Structure 1
Amino acid sequence: MKISKKHAVLFILFIVPLLFYIYLQMGTYNFGKLPIVTKEVIDVSNIYKKIKFKGKVSVVNFIGKDTIDSRGELFNLNEKIYKKFYGYTDFQLISFVDKELKPQTEALKEKLGKYTNMIKWNFIYTSKDEMDAIHDSFKSDSKLDSNSHTSQAYIVDKEVALRRGESTIKSLKKKKLFGYNMQSVAELKNDMFDDVKVVLAEYSLALKKNNRSEDRRKKSISNEEK
């Protein structure tokens, strides 16, 4: 059976977008929830009152005293993660730095800020003991080195719980990611990007569901009053 040009155009204009929408809905549904590694990690607000994990989806990393080796890692994190998500209201990036290295770090921030809006990137200057305490509370599979540094970046959700993904990279297939290697552009681009997106989508869908429930409740009350 031949398909006329008119029918082909109608198919492209109406059916294809519908199928794509259904595909997206199925994909969103299949996202599920990114597994929780550790509940109730220590909130950053315990050492810096102006910033908190609670109520935000946070990407967290530990620079410590290692601003030299961290430089490349931060540029990778900036390009592959921060620039993609800083426009989201619920997103923030937090870097913990040894307070003795504030001048060097401010210079690094200035370099990053030349091409990046740093509004959602918070540098917290603190002590080794405080960085150790927060990282230890993550109960991840890595430790901070002698400079209070790690190449791992972490995802902390709005309930102050550490989340983890599963690698999609062939050489790391099925590996559980308690943190994401900032030295690996592939790991940030292919794994962390998707996992941050999943956590943000999870809260977005929950908000939409709550709004629909509230709308139904208000409509029900209005009908009863009539």
Structure 2
Amino acid sequence: MKKYAILIVLFIMPICAYLFFATGVNQFAKLPTLTEKVNELPEGKTWSGKPIVLKDKITVIGFPGRDMFRDRGNAFNLDQKIYKRYRDFNDFQVVFVAPIGTEEEVKRVREELEPISDLEKWDYVFLEPEQIQEFYDSFKMQGQLDQNLGTPNVYILDKERNLRGRKGKDKKGVEEYKEGYNTISAAELHNEMMDDMKVILAEYRLALKKYNKIVSDSNK
């Protein structure tokens, strides 16, 4: 009996612990929609020189403001905790909406990230202050941009340009509302945002699997 107890402690319990943590903590089978159909991005100069479109992409979007190099640690956290994990998904992108005139700030941030990360799916669009504010207002969020047109939060948009987040009761029965994820906190990105990204990607995998089954059945 003692022999079996030792085997359980050494082999079974670590596996159970791994499966528990791998499933994440988000109680939602589907990540709630907070705002439907935010505006498409206004046309503007982009860092890559290519047009950025939100439709049909899972987008992590942010508003770094005028002092992004000062806050470059936020970009590092996002790169390490979220971008590197999901950049290989075909329909995934990170987009930052920055004020015109911050191109040099962007260059400095990218120069620090490029040696450690492939930023092919990480882009910036440069807009006038009024355009940034109007676009941000279409999210209909509780949070506001600061005087530099920035916020440390990033947000998840689905392929229909819906803002996704947390709304409802958590596992403890406490009402929860989360519209953005604070890039200052590596722990919040690692625990809450990563968990929510898993949920939304699982949604699309399931939808694709159902679509493929329908096509397969129709061809029989």
Q: What letter is aligned with 1:42?
A: N
Counterpart position of 2:31: 34
Summarize the Cα distance change of 1:132–1:211 in structure 2 as closer, same or farther, 3 Å threshold.
same
Query: 2-side partners of 1:162 and 1:142: how far apart?
Result: 13
Counterpart position of 1:132: 133
Query: 2-side partners of 1:89 and 1:204: how far apart?
Result: 12
Q: Is the counterpart of residue 68 in structure 1 residue 69 in structure 2?
A: yes
Instruction: Return 101-110 or 64-73, whichever deviates more.
Output: 64-73
Higher-RCO chain (CA-CA 8 Å, sequence separation at least 6): 2
Q: Is the CA contact (8 Å cut-off) linking 1:35 and 1:163 kept in structure 2?
A: yes
- Aligned pairs for 1:1-226 within 5 A: 32-44=29-41, 46-48=42-44, 50-165=51-166, 175-219=176-220
SS in 2 for 1:68: coil
Q: Is the CA contact (8 Å cut-off) linking 1:167 and 1:191 kept in structure 2?
A: no
Query: How far 1:71 moved relative to its partner?
Result: 0.8
Q: Is the CA contact (8 Å cut-off) linking 2:57 and 2:91 kept in structure 1?
A: yes
Summarize the Cα distance change of 1:85–1:199 in structure 2 as closer, same or farther, 3 Å threshold.
same
Query: How far 1:63 moved relative to its partner?
Result: 0.9
Q: Is the CA contact (8 Å cut-off) linking 2:69 and 2:106 kept in structure 1?
A: no
Counterpart position of 1:17: none
Instruction: Return 93-102 or 65-74, whichever deviates more.
Output: 65-74
Query: How far 1:197 moved relative to its partner?
Result: 1.6
Query: How far 1:188 moved relative to its partner?
Result: 0.5
Query: 2-side partners of 1:168 and 1:87: how far apart?
Result: 32
Structure 1 residue runs of 4+, over 4 Å off?
Answer: 166-170
Query: How far 1:169 moved relative to its partner?
Result: 10
Q: Is the CA contact (8 Å cut-off) linking 2:34 and 2:167 kept in structure 1?
A: no
Q: Is the CA contact (8 Å cut-off) linking 2:76 and 2:113 kept in structure 1?
A: yes
Summarize the Cα distance change of 1:74–1:167 in structure 2 as closer, same or farther, 3 Å threshold.
farther
Identical residues among aligned pairs (%): 37
Task: Please give the TM-score of this superposition, normalised by the length of structure 1.
Answer: 0.78
Q: CA RMSD in A?
A: 3.0
SS in 2 for 1:97: strand
Query: How far 1:168 moved relative to its partner?
Result: 11
Q: What letter is aligned with 2:157?
A: V
Summarize the Cα distance change of 1:169–1:111 in structure 2 as closer, same or farther, 3 Å threshold.
farther
Query: How far 1:167 moved relative to its partner?
Result: 10
Query: How far 1:119 moved relative to its partner?
Result: 0.7
Q: Is the CA contact (8 Å cut-off) linking 1:98 and 1:126 kept in structure 2?
A: yes
SS in 2 for 1:94: strand
Count of residues in Structure 1 that have an aligned counterpart in Structure 2: 197
Q: What letter is aligned with 1:41?
A: V
Structure 2, unaligned runs of 5 or more: 1-10, 12-19, 45-49
Structure number with greater Rg is 1
Query: 2-side partners of 1:114 and 1:212: how far apart?
Result: 42
Q: Larger % of strand: which? A: 2
Query: 1-side partners of 2:148 and 2:28: how far apart?
Result: 37
Counterpart position of 2:7: none
